[in-house]
Amino acid sequence: MTTRAAEPPHPTRLRLLEAALTVIRTKGYAAARVEDVCAEAGLTKGSFFHHFRSKEELAIAAAAHWSEMTGRLFAGAPYHGHEDPLDRVLGYVDFRRSLLEGALPEFTCLVGTMVQEVYATDPAIDRACADSIEGHAATLEADIDAARAAYGVHGAWTTRGLALHTQAVLQGAFILAKAEGGPAIAAESVDHLHRYISLLFGRDPARARPPSPATEKESR
C-alpha cells in the first residue's frame, strides 16, 4: 500500500478525483471520457490537464485516492473495538455488509472494476489496482492470525489466502449486484462469507452477533 505521508491534495484535484470515482464506477474506465469527469466535477478539460498529465495518470491517482479513502473508512470503523479477534474479523464482514446500500456506483469497488479492463493492456493502472486490493486485504491479516491463535485453528489454508478470499467474495458480490440491478444478492453472498468464517473457527453461525462497540472518535 505504501500510504506515504501525502500532503493534502489540491481541492480542485480532489474534486476531479471524486468525479472520476463516480464516472468510472458507473461506466467503467475505457468508456469514462475525460469530459465526463470534467462535467461531473463542474470543470473543463483545460483544468483537467492542468492537474493530470493524462487519463492514465488520473486512473492511477484515483486508485491511490481510493486506497486512502477506504483506508480511513475502515480504520475508523467500530469493529476494531471487539475484544475477541474473531469478532473483529466477523465485524469487518458485517461492516462490509452494512455498506451495501444505495445505488450501485456508491458501494461498488473502483479498483475491482478497473482491473478487469486494464490487466492485460495497462500495467501501471493494473499495479495500482493490485496494490489497493492487496493493501486492504493485508489489514485483515493481524486479526485473522490472532483468531487462529486464540481458537487453535490451523487448517490447510493461509492467513493471506483467507484475507484475499474475503475480497474475492466481495468483488464477486459486486458483479452479481450489477447483473441483478441491486445489492440484495450481494448481501446474501456476504452472509455466506460470514457463515463460512464462523464455521471455520468452530463458532455456531446462528449465534447472536456481539453488539458493535462504540465508534472510536479517533483511531490512531
- Contact footprint for DNA (CB under 7 A): 10, 12, 32-35, 42-47, 49-51, 53-56
CA-CA distance, 205 to 220, in Å (whole number)? Answer: 32
Pick the closer one to its own copies by CB: 41 or 111.
111
Interface positions, 117-176, toward its own copies (CB under 8 A): 117-121, 126, 129-130, 133-134, 155-158, 161-162, 164-165, 167-173, 175-176
- Binding partner selected for residue 73 from DNA, its own copies, none, CB under the kind-specific 5 to 8 Å limit: none
Contact 36, 27 (CB under 8 A): yes
CA-CA distance, 72 to 53, in Å (whole number)? Answer: 27
With CA atoms as reference, report the closest residue to 168 among 116, 210, 133: 133
- In whole angstroms, how close is the CB of 171 to DNA at the nearest point? 25
* Cell numbers for 53: 498529465
- Binding partner selected for residue 12 from DNA, its own copies, none, CB under the kind-specific 5 to 8 Å limit: DNA
- Binding partner selected for residue 203 from DNA, its own copies, none, CB under the kind-specific 5 to 8 Å limit: none
Total residues at the site for its own copies (CB under 8 A)?
56
User: Which of 6, 46, 152, 179: binder of its own copies (CB under 8 A)?
Assistant: 179
User: Which of 50, 55, 178, 203: binder of its own copies (CB under 8 A)?
Assistant: 178
- Binding partner selected for residue 45 from its own copies, DNA, none, CB under the kind-specific 5 to 8 Å limit: DNA
Pick the closer one to DNA by CB: 59 or 89.
59
- Binding partner selected for residue 179 from DNA, its own copies, none, CB under the kind-specific 5 to 8 Å limit: its own copies
